[in-house]
């Protein structure tokens, strides 16, 4: 996404849901992709929801994992993640919010993520995205409930029961709002469902996207 990783930053330093959604659809246009299924993880879940709500014919199926996109009181974990300032110690600290199994939080993983965060321009762009007070960014990333309830898409919702970053209640709300949805909640699992439950997560997604009837 614009501002993250190796993708360009906006010269004016202004980020937000509208610009990120324009970026995604522009990317699909550049690849001549008329429609596709979308997997949205956390922040990406808010983008996936907004894509489906704004241009429903361009989204086939939705997978939402630990998803932002509905209103909730910001957690200590999310506030810490969005408020990250680069240092190895800070990276080690915020990683503790992500995993239920803390043995996965190796020094090598922390170092890799820290080194990525200090690439030229990365920390500056990230600081522009979610300045305090950060509850407003939860609200800015939300899709109106009426628009979520109008979604016709088959939707797979996945969440770790022990998530300290995005509360599991968000996925319960999404499951309630999206008529054609199924919810899978993993116990002893944090925000990294795709890592802590990798085999089961991948099997769920593959079955959902490719093996079920697509008559809807």
Q: Which residues carry out catalysis? A: 42, 163, 191
Which candidate, 169, 146, 171, places its Cα nearest to that of 157? 171
**Burial code of 100-114, b = ≥16 C-beta within 10 A, e = fewer?**
beeeeeeeeebeeeb
Helices 107-117 and 88-95 meet at what angle, rounded to 10? 120
Q: Torsions phi, psi of 202, nearest 5?
A: -60, -40
Measured in degrees and rounded to the nearest 5, phi and psi for residue 78 equal -65, -40
């Amino acid at each position: 996404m614009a501002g993250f990783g190796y993708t360009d930053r906006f010269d004016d330093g202004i980020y937000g849901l509208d610009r990120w959604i324009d970026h995604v659809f522009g990317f699909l246009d550049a690849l001549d992709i008329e429609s596709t299924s979308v997997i949205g993880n956390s922040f990406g879940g808010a983008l996936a929801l907004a894509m489906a709500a704004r241009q429903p014919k361009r989204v086939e199926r939705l997978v939402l994992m630990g998803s932002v996109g509905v209103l909730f009181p910001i957690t200590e974990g999310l506030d810490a993640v969005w408020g990250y300032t680069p240092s190895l110690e800070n990276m080690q600290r915020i990683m503790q919010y992500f995993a239920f199994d803390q043995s996965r939080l190796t020094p090598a993983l922390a170092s890799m993520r820290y080194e990525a965060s200090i690439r030229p321009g990365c920390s500056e762009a990230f600081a522009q995205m979610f300045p305090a007070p950060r509850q407003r960014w939860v609200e800015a990333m939300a899709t109106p409930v009426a628009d979520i309830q109008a979604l016709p898409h088959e939707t797979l919702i996945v969440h770790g029961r022990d998530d300290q970053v995005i509360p599991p209640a968000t996925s319960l709300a999404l499951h309630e709002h999206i008529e054609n949805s199924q919810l899978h909640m993993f116990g002893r699992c944090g925000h990294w469902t795709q890592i802590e439950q990798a085999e089961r997560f991948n099997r769920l997604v593959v079955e959902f996207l490719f093996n079920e009837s697509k008559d809807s």
